[in-house]
Structures are given as structure tokens and as C-alpha cells.
């Protein structure tokens, strides 16, 4: 799909590498420029203090199929390597702080002089303008906390809970990849590149945009509540007789209430004045939820499935990862892929989020080692063997060694 496009990714952690990882799955040649010690995500499982995690599926998800070079951009020679890479690239993708990029001469204004058609993608925590433009920000801080996302998702009266690993990063990565592709289309038509700016902060606000938009327009918004106090009783979780949770997602307005009542054996409640309208059901929500709780507790999940499906309701079981993996629909939707390893074996990992009818989006390669492709990439740039050896000796570059570390 993206074969022939060259992406230079100078980024660590997750949000920006996620965008590069999606493009790598889609066929782009993504060259990952790492510090000599590698991206910190390579050590994600180090704190586990165990040998039970021989692979790194977290880093592999966002970095499989890339070429990896180790470059010390704290040296002028290292920065010059990056500029040479950019000269014929289609995309430069980074999450390095803006002030550092400017100091190193790797900012948008400098690189566009080298390559006017370059799409320069910047991923930050808080955006490129304002007092916090240079502030570091993980998704738990910028995406979850500062944006209002976490407040909106926390049931009223409850304490905030941390977002799971990289959820906000991956939403931002998808947004970044989308912006890059739009800018590439423009660059192909006009011959002019541009700056693509994404941030965890802006992506988070968009993710809860329906609620945010309501608050912006009316100055108020209904927050999440405990299920026993749900605003709409038939938009709620219910526990079955065999202790499986399911969720019913009623459509806006009135259309699903009669079907829910019939499917759950509560048909007499359709004409009950306590539940006759949406307003009535909200006013008497606690009572209605208790009645639905009692009804759902009479049958198992397997017994409820045909009844809810026959009623045409929008619903789903609440599944843990093991249940989801064993769900045939997850496989039919292409959720899982085989993650190749250097030894020829593989393990299961998550697919990138889009599938095409006539293109494979399976991983295009393994998780590369630190500096695995340094010498080959620099050879392509025209750096002779003597220069490469000198750079290696001076710690300007690193290359993969049999010890599994970048040699300096």
C-alpha cells in the first residue's frame, strides 16, 4: 500500500512510533533513528525481574518491520546523518521536544530547506504553541488527566483510575498516521510539504468530543455514573445467572425500550406510567435497573444471546482478553496477526487497525535490534567504510552486536 514511501522516525516511547508502525505494516520503508542505548520501550519488561518474558510484544507492536539505526544526535556528525536521511525522505516523524529539535537544526523550518516536499510530523504532549509546548507528557498526564478525558470517564463520586498502557498513545498514533497520509497526498499534488502537528491533548479532547461539544454549547454535561444510577437504564451493564456481564446499548430516543421489555419478560412495564417515557424512566431509573437486574439474573449468557439478537438489540458480552481471543468474530475481523521473530518462529500480536481488500497489512518484518541496520543504511547514504568505522569508534553511531546490545 505504501511501498516506495520513505519515513524517517526519530522518536521514542509509543505515540509517534505507533504512527510509524502503522505505516510500516502498510508497506512504508520506516527507518527508526534511536539513541545508542535504544528506545526505552525496549526495556518495558525489565522491571518484572523475571525471565518469563523472552519477547517484547509491546515494543514489537509499534516497531515491527522497521529498519533500525543507532545514532548519537548529540554530535554534529549524528545530526548530519539525520539531515542526509531526510534529503530524499517523504516523511520525518518525531516526538523530540521542539526546543531540542531547534537547537539541533532538526526543526521543520530547517529541514524543509533541505527537502521542500517533506511531510514533517510532530507528536507532542501538549501541542507546539503555548507555555507547555516543551513540556514532556505521557498519555496518563496529557491525554488522560489534563484534557478532561479522565474526569469524563470517571463515575461521579469515584476516584480517577490510571489509563491502561498506551491507550491514549495509540489513539494519537492513529490520528498522526491519518494526518501524515493527508499531507502526503497534498505533497504529491503540489510538490510542497507541510508540518503535521498532533498532540495527546488534542486527540483526547476529540475522543470525548461528543461530551465536550455538549459542555461547550450548554455549559453542562452528564458525567458517567455507577451502573445502579445510570441515566438511561437500558444503556447499562447487567449480570446474567452464570455471572457474565453484558452491555445493552440502546439507541437515542424511545425505539428500544419496548423490545428490551419484551426480551426480558417485562412486557407489562411498557405501559407502566413509571416507565412510559424516557423522562419517566430516567426519573425512576434506580427502580427500573433493579427490575432489569432481577430479570437478567434468571438466565445464562448463552440463553440470553438468541433472545437479545431476535429482538434486534445492540448488545455485547463483556469479555476478558482470553474470552475475546477465543471469540471467532475477533479472528474474522482480523484483530490478531502472527508476529515474526528472527529465529523463524512467531507469536500472536495485535494487528494495526485497518484492513484493505487487496493489500496485506500483516507485519512486514521482525522487531529490529538496536542498530541492526546502521551500517547498511549509512552505506546507502554514501558513507564509506572508513567513515563508518570512525563514527563507530567515536560513538556517533552504534551497531547491533551478538550480545544483543548496540556496540559503541
Q: Which of 20-29, 44-53, 179-188, 245-254 has the lowest mean pLDDT?
A: 44-53
Both 44 and 179 in one domain: the answer is yes
Both 347 and 289 in one domain: the answer is no
CA gap 172, 20 in Å, rounded? 12
Both 151 and 295 in one domain: the answer is no
302: enclosing H helix or E strand: helix 301-310
Query: Which cell numbers hold the place of 246?
Result: 453484558
CATH number for the domain spanning 292: value is: 3.30.1540.10
Both 79 and 172 in one domain: the answer is yes
CA dihedral sign, ordered 265, 269, 275, 278: positive
Structural domain harbouring 235: 227-239+245-317
Q: How many domains does the chain have?
A: 2
Q: What are phi and psi of 120, to 5 degrees?
A: -105, 110
The beta strands (E) that lie in 44-105 are given as 67-71, 91-94
What is the pLDDT of the chain when averaged over all its residues? 93
Residue 49: pLDDT band with limits 50, 70, 90: low
The beta strands (E) that lie in 133-217 are given as 194-199
Both 183 and 310 in one domain: the answer is no
What count of residues does the chain have?
Answer: 408
What Cα–Cα distance (Å) separates residue 223 from each residue in 205, 217, 232, 261?
15, 16, 12, 26
Query: Which cell numbers hold the place of 375?
Result: 551500517
325 located within any domain: no
Closest CA to 59 of 46, 73, 69: 46
Both 96 and 197 in one domain: the answer is yes
Burial of 129 (0-12, 13-18, 19+ CB in 10 A): exposed
Both 123 and 201 in one domain: the answer is yes
Both 32 and 174 in one domain: the answer is yes
399 located within any domain: yes
Domain closes at, from 317, 348, 377: 317
221 located within any domain: no
Indicate whether 254 pLDDT > 90: no
Indicate whether 54 pLDDT > 90: no
Q: Which of 158-162, 349-353, 375-379 has the lowest mean pLDDT?
A: 158-162
Classify residue 24 as left (phi > 0), alpha (psi -120 to 50) or beta. alpha
Closest CA to 157 of 103, 223, 204: 223
Q: Considering the chain, what percentage of its residues have pLDDT values greater than 70?
A: 97
pLDDT in tens, 262-316: 999 999 999 999 999 999 999 999 999 999 999 999 999 999 999 999 999 999 9
Q: Which residues contact 399 (CB under 8 A, 6 or more apart)?
A: 70, 371, 372, 374, 375, 392, 406, 407
Both 234 and 186 in one domain: the answer is no
Q: How many helices (H) and strands (E) does the chain have?
A: 17, 13
Both 202 and 258 in one domain: the answer is no
**pTM of the predicted model as reported, rounded to 2 decimal places:** 0.92
Identify the pLDDT of residue 95: 97
CA gap 367, 383 in Å, rounded? 25
Indicate whether 402 pLDDT > 60: no
Indicate whether 408 pLDDT > 90: no
Decide: 345 and 324 in contact? Cβ < 8 Å.
no
Identify the pLDDT of residue 45: 84
180 located within any domain: yes
Domain closes at, from 288, 317, 346: 317
136 located within any domain: yes
Both 31 and 176 in one domain: the answer is yes
Both 164 and 29 in one domain: the answer is yes
Decide: 138 and 125 in contact? Cβ < 8 Å.
yes
337 located within any domain: yes
Identify the pLDDT of residue 52: 72
68 located within any domain: yes
Residue 44: pLDDT band with limits 50, 70, 90: confident
Closest CA to 172 of 130, 206, 147, 212: 206
Q: Which residues contact 282 (CB under 8 A, 6 or more apart)?
A: 231, 232, 233
CATH number for the domain spanning 379: value is: 3.40.50.10540
Strand 67-71 relative to strand 397-400, pairing: antiparallel
Identify the pLDDT of residue 159: 87
Amino acid at each position: 500500500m505504501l511501498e516506495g514511501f520513505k519515513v524517517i522516525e526519530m522518536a521514542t516511547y509509543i505515540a509517534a512510533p505507533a504512527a510509524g508502525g502503522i505505516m510500516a505494516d502498510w508497506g512504508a520503508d520506516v527507518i527508526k533513528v534511536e539513541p545508542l542505548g535504544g528506545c526505552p520501550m525496549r526495556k518495558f519488561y525489565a522491571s518484572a525481574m523475571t525471565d518469563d518474558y523472552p519477547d517484547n510484544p509491546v515494543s514489537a507492536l509499534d516497531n515491527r518491520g522497521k529498519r533500525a539505526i543507532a545514532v548519537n544526535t548529540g554530535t554534529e556528525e549524528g545530526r548530519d546523518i539525520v539531515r542526509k536521511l531526510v534529503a530524499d525522505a517523504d516523511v520525518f516523524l518525531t516526538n523530540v521536544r521542539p526546543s531540542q529539535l531547534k537547537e539541533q537544526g532538526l526543526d521543520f523550518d530547517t529541514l524543509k530547506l533541505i527537502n521542500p516536499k517533506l511531510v514533517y510530523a510532530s507528536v507532542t504532549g501538549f501541542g507546539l504553541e503555548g507555555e507547555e509546548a516543551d513540556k514532556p507528557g505521557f498519555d496518563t498526564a496529557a491525554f488522560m488527566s489534563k484534557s478532561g478525558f479522565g474526569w469524563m470517564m470517571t463515575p461521579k463520586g469515584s476516584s480517577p483510575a490510571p489509563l491502561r498502557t498506551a491507550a491514549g498513545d495509540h489513539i494519537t498514533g492513529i490520528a498522526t498516521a491519518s494526518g501524515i497520509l493527508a499531507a502526503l497526498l497534498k505533497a504529491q499534488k503540489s510538490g510542497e510539504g507541510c508540518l503535521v502537528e498532533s498532540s495527546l491533548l488534542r486527540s483526547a479532547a476529540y475522543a470525548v468530543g461528543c461530551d465536550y461539544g455538549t459542555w461547550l454549547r450548554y455549559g453542562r454535561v452528564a458525567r458517567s455514573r455507577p451502573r445502579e444510577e445510570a441515566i438511561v437504564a437500558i444503556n447499562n451493564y447487567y449480570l446474567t445467572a452464570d455471572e457474565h456481564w453484558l452491555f445493552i446499548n440502546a439507541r437515542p430516543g424511545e425505539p428500544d425500550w419496548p423490545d428490551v421489555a419484551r426480551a426480558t419478560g417485562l412486557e407489562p412495564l411498557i405501559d407502566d406510567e413509571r416507565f412510559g417515557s424516557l423522562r419517566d424512566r430516567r426519573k425512576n431509573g434506580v427502580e427500573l435497573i433493579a427490575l432489569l437486574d432481577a430479570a437478567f439474573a434468571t438466565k445464562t449468557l448463552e440463553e440470553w444471546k438468541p433472545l437479545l439478537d431476535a429482538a434486534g438489540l445492540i448488545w455485547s458480552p463483556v469479555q476478558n482478553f482470553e474470552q475475546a481471543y477465543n471469540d471467532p468474530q475477533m479472528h474474522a475481523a482480523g484483530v490478531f496477526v502472527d508476529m515474526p521473530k528472527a529465529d523463524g518462529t512467531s507469536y500472536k500480536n495485535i494487528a494495526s487497525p485497518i484492513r484493505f481488500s487487496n493489500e496485506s497489512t500483516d507485519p512486514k518484518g521482525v522487531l529490529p535490534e538496536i542498530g541492526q541496520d546502521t551500517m547498511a543504511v549509512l552505506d546507502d547514504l554514501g558513507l564509506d567504510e572508513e567513515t563508518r568505522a570512525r563514527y563507530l569508534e567515536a560513538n556517533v553511531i552504534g551497531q547491533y552486536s551478538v550480545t544483543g546490545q548496540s556496540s559503541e
